[in-house]
Structure 1
Amino acid sequence: MSDGPETVSLGEFTFECGESIPELEVAYETYGEFTGDNAVLVCHALTGSAHVAGGRRRTDTAGQAHAWWDDIVGPGKAVDTTEYYVVCANVPGSCYGSSGPPTVDPETGEPWGTAFPAVTVGDWTRAQRRLLDHLGVPNLHSVVGGSVGGMNVLEWAKRHPDHLDRAVVVAAAARLDAQCLALDAIAQRAITTDPNWAGGDYYGDDPPTQGLALARQIGHVMYLSKSSMEDKFGRRSAGMDAGRDSFEMDPAAGFFPYREVESYLDYQGEKFAQRFDANAYLYLTRAMDNYDLASGYDGDADALAAFDGEALLVSFTGDWHFTVEQSEALAEAFRATEAAVAHHVVDSEHGHDAFLVEPDRVGPPVADFLESGVAGKAVSDTAEGDEGDEFAPVHNSLFSN
C-alpha cells in the first residue's frame, strides 16, 4: 500500500476559466505495481483526498478523507492492488495537498484565497492526465469514481475516450438537478455570509467555521435518505443534558427538545469545519454544480460517442442526490452510442452515503466488471441484501434492457 501522498509540480496550468497559475501541484498516491496495462485511476468524491486506502476502516463520511474507500481498494479487495496499479489524485481546488485556495501564491507568498482561478471537472481531468503522463501511464484499464468523482469518470470518457477501456460510475449523474443546485446554493451562502469569511481572505485569522459547518450540515441531509433519517433519529430528543453549543439559539429554543438529528448535524458540521477549508468547499461545490456532460455537444450520447470501451453504472434506490433514474438515463446515453454498458441497481436505504458505507454491496459488481466487463457475473442485490445466494448478470437492474 501507499506510504502516503506525494506531491508533484506539473508546471504552468491554464484553467478552463482562462486564468493560469505558474505551478500546478497535485498530491497523489499510488498502490500496486504498474505492468503496462493494469492502471486504474480512482476519482474521489467532493471532500475526499488522494488517500483512498491503507488506513483503518471508517464508516462516517465526515472522516472520508482518511482512507475514504479502504473497504473497496486494497489487496484482495474489489479494486485489488495486487492486480491493479491504482492511482488517486487530489483534485485542484481542494485542500488536501493539490493547488487550491489555501495554498500559497508564489508571486505574493500568501494563500491564494479567492484569487485562485475557478476550477471545473474538466480541469480535474486535465490535471489527472498530466499526472499520469508524469507517471508514465499512457492508458488506463479503468477509471472509477463515486458521486462527483463519477462525473470525473464521465469527463474521462468524453475527453479522453481512447485512454480508458472501462468506466465505472458510482452514484453519479450527467448533471445536478434543480433541487440539488438549490441546496448547494444555500450551503455556499452559509459560508459567504459568515462574517469570518471576510471575502475569502481569512487565512491567519478566525476561519468561517460556523458557515462551513452549516454548509456541511446541508450536505449531510442530501446524503441521507428520508427513511434512513427516520430510522437513525426519528423525533427523539438528545437528552436534557445535551447542549446546543455549536450555534447561537433564540431564547425560546430552551423550552423545546434538542433532537438527536440536530445533535448529529451539529457534530458532523463541527467536525468537518476542523478539517476542511471553506474556500475549497466553495470551489469544489461550484465545479460540481457547473458540470454538464452534454456541454459543447448535442446531448449526452453525442458527448460519449467517441468512447468505445465498456461502462458500469451503479446506483442506489434510496439515493435522491443522484437517482437511479439519472443513472439509467446515463446508461441509455451509452447504449445510444452502442457502447457495452451495464446498470447495476442496489436496493439500499442508505441514500447517497451507500457508495461509502455499503462496500459489501458495491464491491462485488465493481470487482466483477474490472475483471470481466459487462460479460461477467456479479452477486445480485436483493431487497433483503442477501449476498451470495445467487449469481446474476451484472446488468440486472430495475430496468429491462
Structure 2
Amino acid sequence: MKELSKTVQDLKPSGIRKFFDLANTMEGVISLGVGEPDFATPWHICENAIESMYDGKTHYTANRGLLELRREIAKFHREHYNQFYDPEDEIIVTVGGSEAIDIAMRALINPGDEIIVLDPNYVAYEPSILLAGGIPVHIQLTEEKEFKLLPEDLKNAITPKTKAIMINFPSNPTGGVMTYEDYEKLVPILKESGIYVISDEIYAELSFDQKFASLAQFKEVRDQIIVVNGFSKAFAMTGWRLGYTLSNKEVSQAMTKIHQYVIMSAPTAAQHAAIEALRNGYTDVLRMKEEYRNRRNLLVNRLNRMGLPTHMPHGTFYVFANIKKSGLSSDDFCEKLLSDQKVACVPGTAFGESGEGFIRISYAYSMDHIKTACDRIEIFLKKLGIE
C-alpha cells in the first residue's frame, strides 16, 4: 500500500482531546477541559427545527444557506457589531466555525504562503494552514500585555510572503480581547501590507467588560477581513454544527466553490433553529452570559487566593492560569493534578509554545463543579508547597 499524506501524518493530535479522553477513563473526574456550554439549547430554538421537519423542510438548501437565515445574520451583525454584509453574496452558512476557517484558508493560500498566527492560539488554526499548504509564522502574545496583538509585533512579522493573519478575539485560550482603539492602531499596517485577516469572532457575544470590537468595522480594511462566527458558544448550539463567514464578494465566491464541492449545504434543520435563535434568542444569550460572568469571577478570585496568579479574562469562558510557581511544566502539572485530585484541565502548550507555564481552565461548567474543582486544586497546590 502507498503511504498516507505526510502532511496529515505529521499533524499533532489535539492537546485538548488528549486530556479529555484520559479523564473519560477515570471515575469521579471533574473535567474543566472542553469549551462547550453546559446549557442545553433553549427549547424554543429546538422547536423551530422540529417544526421545520414536520413541515417537510428536509431537503438541501442553497449552497450558501437559506436566504432567510443569511438575512437574519446580516441584520444581527449590523445591529450588534456595526458590520455590514450583503446576505446575497457576502455570507456563507457553514458546518460550524471549523469549516469556515478551513475554507477561508484554502481560498487564500497558495503553497508556500505565510500565515501569521498568534501564540497561544486555538488548536485548529495551524493544522488548517498546513493542510492548505501554508507556512505558519508566530507572534508571541504575553500576559504582561494582556495577550493583545501589538502593532509593532504585527509589523515585524509581515514579509513579502505573508498572505494573511489569523486572529481570535475574545481569545481561546487566554480570554484576551482587543478594543476598538487597539484595532485602530493595526489598520494602517494592514492597509499598507494588503494582507488578509481571518478573524474568528465566535466568542463575540461573550465579551464581559467592554464593547466587542472587530476589524470589520473599519471601512479602510473591510474588504481584507474574513469574519468567522457561529452559533455554538453564545447560543449553546455546539451539536447543531452551524457557523458562517462574512467577507467581500470575491473572497466569498472563492470559499463557496470549496463549500459546494465538499459540503453542499449546512444541515437544513439547524438553519431553521438558527433563524429562531437570531430572532428570539438574544435574551437567552444575555442570561447565559451573566452566569458565565459570575463563574469567571468566582474562579479567578479562587485561583488568585490559592496562589495561582490569573489574568482576568475579559471574554470567552476560559481562564489562562499561570502555574510557573509550581516548578512543573504545563503537561506535568495537568497530569499530576488529574492523577492526584481527578481534575482535568488543558496544558497551555496545547495552544503553542508560548502556553508553557500556563493551564487553560474552562468555566463552561456549573458553579458547583467549579467550586469542587477549586477545592481540589487548592489541596493539590498545598501538596506542592504553594499557598
**TM-score, normalised on structure 2?**
0.29
Higher helix share: 2
Report 1 or 2 for greater relative contact order, CA contacts < 8 Å, sequence distance ≥ 6.
2
Structure 1-normalised TM-score?
0.29
